[in-house]
C-alpha cells in the first residue's frame, strides 16, 4: 500500500509539492501519535510562515486512536468507552482544530481526516467523537440501501 501511494503521487506529477508522512503497521504505536502531529507542524509552517494553502489528508484516524489506546493502556491509565482513554475527545480536538486560517496570514490548512468505522458503527467512540468535534462528515456506505438510520448528535 505504501509503495502504491508513492507511485500514484509520483505519476500525478505533484511529488515535488507533496510531503508524505507514513507510519507502517509494524512500527511502534507511539510513532503513529508523533507522526500526525509532525505532519500538522509542517503544514502549519508551510501555511503560516510560507503562505501556502495546504491540504492534509490523515489516513487513518482509527489507526491513530488505536495507537493512543495501546499507549494509554501501557501507561496504566484508566480506560473509558471500548478501552480508549477518557481524554480521546480532547486529544482528537487538538488535531482537528489545527485546520483553518489565521488572521493576517495568507496561507491556510484544510484537513481531510479519514477514519474507518469499526463494524460500521457510527456510535463507536472514534466516529462519534469526531462527529461532535468536526460537526460535519461525509459517510461512505458499503451497503446499497440508500435509506439508513444514522443517529444525529
Give the separation between CA 121 and CA 149, rounded to whole angstroms: 11
pLDDT at 150: 56
75 backbone dihedrals φ, ψ, rounded to 5°:
-80, -10
64, 70, 76, 108 from 73: Cα distances, Å: 14, 5, 5, 36
Distance CA 113, CA 60 (A): 7
| 90, burial (CB in 10 Å: exposed 0-12, middle 13-18, buried 19+) | exposed
pLDDT of the residue at 56? 95
- Report pLDDT for 147: 56
Over the chain (153 residues), the average pLDDT of each successive run of 10 is: 82 86 90 96 97 93 95 96 96 96 96 89 91 84 61 56
At residue 43, the pLDDT reads: 97
Whole-prediction pTM: 0.84
Which domains are present in the chain? 24-134 (3.40.50.300)
| pLDDT in the model for residue 140 | 82
CA distance 83 to 69: 7
φ, ψ at 74 (rounded to 5°)? -65, -25
Residue with cell string 480521546: 88
Amino acid at each position: 500500500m505504501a509503495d502504491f501511494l508513492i507511485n500514484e503521487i509520483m505519476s500525478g506529477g505533484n511529488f515535488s509539492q507533496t510531503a508524505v508522512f507514513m507510519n507502517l503497521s509494524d512500527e511502534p504505536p507511539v510513532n503513529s501519535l508523533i507522526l500526525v502531529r509532525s505532519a500538522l507542524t509542517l503544514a502549519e509552517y508551510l501555511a503560516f510562515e510560507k503562505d501556502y494553502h495546504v491540504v492534509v489528508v490523515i489516513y487513518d484516524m482509527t489507526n491513530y486512536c488505536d495507537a493512543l489506546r495501546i499507549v494509554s493502556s501501557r501507561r496504566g491509565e484508566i480506560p473509558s468507552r471500548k478501552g480508549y482513554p477518557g481524554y480521546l475527545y480532547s486529544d482528537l480536538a487538538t488535531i482537528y482544530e489545527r485546520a483553518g486560517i489565521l488572521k493576517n496570514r495568507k496561507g491556510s490548512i484544510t484537513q481531510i481526516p479519514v477514519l474507518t468505522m469499526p463494524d460500521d458503527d457510527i456510535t463507536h467512540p472514534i466516529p462519534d467523537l469526531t462527529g461532535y468535534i468536526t460537526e460535519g462528515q461525509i459517510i461512505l456506505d458499503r451497503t446499497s440501501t440508500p435509506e439508513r438510520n444514522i443517529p444525529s448528535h
